[in-house]
Structure 1
Amino acid sequence: MSISPAPLIVIGGGQSGLAAANAAVAAGLRPTVLHAGAEPVGSWPGYYDSLTLFSPARYSALPGTTVGGGDPDRYPTRDEVVDYLRRYATTIDAEIRTGVRVTAVRPRPGGGYLVHTDTGDELAAAGIVAASGSFGNPYVPLLAGRSNYAGELTHVAHYRRPEPYVGKRIVVVGAGNSAVQVAHELAHHGTVTLAARAPIQFVPQRIRGRDLHYWLQVTGGDRMPRWLLTRLVRHASVLDTGVYRDALARGLLTRREMFTAFTPDGVIWPDGASEPVDAVIFATGYRPDLGYLAPLETLRQGMPAHAGGLSTTHPGLAYLGLEFQRTFSSNTLRGVGRDAAHVIAALARFVSAGHWRWRR
């Protein structure tokens, strides 16, 4: 066990953690990034093979860089993003430790925090940025009969490619981008039904010849404050060039109201009809992966208490990469940099004031 004081520890080495480290260095802090994965590219290698960003390359980069590699209006692939983050990490003058999983964060007597890792280390910090994302905590709703279902039940976090589903009857649960993209891919290999509690809300990918994200940028929609956003956005929406809407209209995909229960070999639909199903894939989102903060007792049903990413319960604790943390784009490549600048500025003031220093 070792104790090594550092002004700032960033937990997570994905896009949010790297944005935090970059902003911290610019603010004159000495960040140490702790990342559980083998390299600082976040959860991107774990996404399904065919994933492409829903925003063009020109709108999909962290501060001070571009994704590069060709047409700025293309939609980068998963592997392009991995390569981009790998390069970005090398530009940050900070210590980035990979293969280190944080197991607990505790208050340190006299001020600051102690960060415990699965390697047995204990690190002291003036401030903490929890930037571990949510991919490690996929959400699957508890439905009647789930434990008795004999088919394949998984979350889209564990889906990779369509080949294992050839000829199968599949239900994809969800009404967001990932649900529709995966369902559309699978529909060319099996029989697919989209199950959702609300109708699919399509949003045009291109408006008057330009990608939606151009209009979000010029109108300021990407920076819409959280309080207003939550009033306007009622449920998930799907960016579409017309391909997905057409697939539903042609019957390649079928959409039904969410089933009410599982049977041993399938599901029960709201009209009472039972249907055999080989596989159910939940694209039902994620919850913040913040279990290591449990000792601080700052989580409420797994969700952090914060205002704009700054903890309302623990001075010197901040968050990055939360959905709708401050704006519509808070947990995206194009938006997390703004949030990083916001929370790091506050942490820099906190550290420079010396409020965290422990008494001898």
Structure 2
Amino acid sequence: MTGDRHIQVVIVGGGQAGLAAGYHLRRLGVDFVILDAQSGPGGAWQHAWDSLHLFSPAAFSSLPGRLMPPQAGEEYPDAEHVVAYLRAYEKRYELPVERPVRVHGVHRDGPALRVETDSGTWHARVVISATGTWWRPFLPAVPGRSAFEGRQLHTVDYRRPQDFTGRRVIVVGGGNSGAQIAADLAHDTHLTWVTQRPPRFLADDIDGRALFDAATARRRALDEGSIDTGGVASLGDIVAVPPVREARDRGLLKAGPMFSGLTPGGAEWADGTRAEADAIIWCTGFRPALSHLAPLRLRGRRGHIATAGTTRAVDEPRLHLLGYGDWTGPASATLIGVGRTARDAARQIRDFLR
């Protein structure tokens, strides 16, 4: 359908954050639509690598209103199970998702925000941006990166270890993605894992439940003006999910220091050490996918949009940002964490609309 349409709230993004916002807006009687660029439900989870698993059991990885059912034979559900859950969640609550709809820009237009898409224009009193970060992978400016003649991938491009069997692979990154992909490749490739600092594994009994509690406690302390607890970063960087734990305990998961640059055939370090490589996988994180908000001119020097009350944009009170990480709510980029922030944002929006 094309043409101009008017509605109270437009949610941009139909992944976990967009669905959580929709759930709470529906409960409050607010009229909304979710515009999703993907061809089907599941958000970024439908594009994850084959072996990716959650950090927490299903019951502790749920959106508001409905527990994620357990996955047979798995303590920590895989990405396919998450996609099925999100699909069922969307259907259960009859959330009004239109897809595939790509939002080109959000503009100020008198009392409304004008949302331009590839299938028409929406006029909304409030916009919730819930596009996440998966769609904007970050690659560091490393000397020689353009000269490397092998294959270069980011986390978003990696799928399965069989694609690299017998090959020389360098995995870059000391976070969860780097550790999980390195563990995936540790058995049947010639693996070199490099990190900016020695990897910090969390205690084996810590999973997403403890991480959410830590993030929430830090946010509460900051809001109360207390000493910064450090949040998740104080515990470590890598959750020791079973595949990572197994590779680590077998001595297959040993990280070396970050290289100083790339050569046509591999990597080199400041002391003259070299390593040949057929492929480099950059597990170097993401940036918020906010290009659709560019017409509003809200971004600061570091790329973030200043918010108040966690999600509301300081310089545009008709815009809320949800699910981009701790700066838009404690653990808001996780399944378990986004619900609370979505609830608070929905209540603020209801009051604003009144």
Fold-level similarity (TM above 0.5): yes
Aligned residues: 344
The one-character-per-residue Cα deviations of 1:264-312 (angstroms, maximum 9, x if unpaired) are 1111123222221111101111111110100000112432221311111
The answer on whether the counterparts of 1:127 and 1:316 sit within 8 Å (CA) in structure 2 is yes
2:214 to 193, 218, 221: 221
Distance 1:270 1:318 in 2: 45
The answer on whether the counterparts of 1:10 and 1:17 sit within 8 Å (CA) in structure 2 is yes
The answer on whether the counterparts of 2:71 and 2:77 sit within 8 Å (CA) in structure 1 is no
The equivalent residue for 1:296 is 296
- Of all paired residues, the percent bearing the same amino acid is 33
Distance 1:70 1:53 in 2: 11
Report the alpha carbon displacement of residue 20 of structure 1 after superposing the two structures with TM.
Answer: 0.6
AA at the equivalent of 2:342: A
The equivalent residue for 1:342 is 344
AA at the equivalent of 2:327: Q
The one-character-per-residue Cα deviations of 1:80-137 (angstroms, maximum 9, x if unpaired) are 000000000012244210100101000012x120000122x11100000000111100
Distance 2:252 2:232 in 1: 31
Distance 1:78 1:141 in 2: 27
The equivalent residue for 2:13 is 12
Report the alpha carbon displacement of residue 34 of structure 1 after superposing the two structures with TM.
Answer: 0.1
Distance 1:266 1:25 in 2: 53
1:322 to 321, 324, 330: 324
CA 1:272–1:46 in 2, change beyond 3 Å: closer, same or farther? same
Distance 1:58 1:168 in 2: 39
Distance 1:335 1:72 in 2: 25
> Mapping of 1:105-184 within 5 angstroms?
105-109=106-110, 111-119=111-119, 121-184=120-183
Report the alpha carbon displacement of residue 36 of structure 1 after superposing the two structures with TM.
Answer: 0.3
Distance 2:58 2:231 in 1: 29
Distance 1:9 1:297 in 2: 19
What secondary structure sits across from 1:201 in the alignment? coil
The answer on whether the counterparts of 1:57 and 1:73 sit within 8 Å (CA) in structure 2 is no
Distance 2:209 2:34 in 1: 33
Report the alpha carbon displacement of residue 252 of structure 1 after superposing the two structures with TM.
Answer: 1.9
Distance 2:243 2:84 in 1: 28
Which deviates the most, 150-159 or 317-326?
317-326
Distance 1:205 1:235 in 2: 12
In the superposition, the TM-score normalised over structure 2's length comes to 0.91
The answer on whether the counterparts of 1:174 and 1:284 sit within 8 Å (CA) in structure 2 is yes
AA at the equivalent of 1:286: F
The one-character-per-residue Cα deviations of 1:174-224 (angstroms, maximum 9, x if unpaired) are 111111111011111101111111111111231xxxx5445567xx43522
What secondary structure sits across from 1:103 in the alignment? strand
The answer on whether the counterparts of 1:173 and 1:282 sit within 8 Å (CA) in structure 2 is yes
AA at the equivalent of 2:151: E
> Mapping of 1:234-273 within 5 angstroms?
237-240=237-240, 244=244, 247-248=247-248, 250-273=250-273
Report the alpha carbon displacement of residue 244 of structure 1 after superposing the two structures with TM.
Answer: 3.6
What secondary structure sits across from 1:79 in the alignment? helix
The equivalent residue for 1:357 is none
CA 1:262–1:214 in 2, change beyond 3 Å: closer, same or farther? closer
The one-character-per-residue Cα deviations of 1:253-273 (angstroms, maximum 9, x if unpaired) are 331111111101111123222
Report the alpha carbon displacement of residue 325 of structure 1 after superposing the two structures with TM.
Answer: 3.0
Distance 1:243 1:15 in 2: 25
The equivalent residue for 2:225 is none
List gaps (5 residues or longer) in structure 1.
353-360
List gaps (5 residues or longer) in structure 2.
223-227
AA at the equivalent of 1:297: R
Does residue 41 (structure 1) correspond to residue 42 (structure 2)? The answer is yes
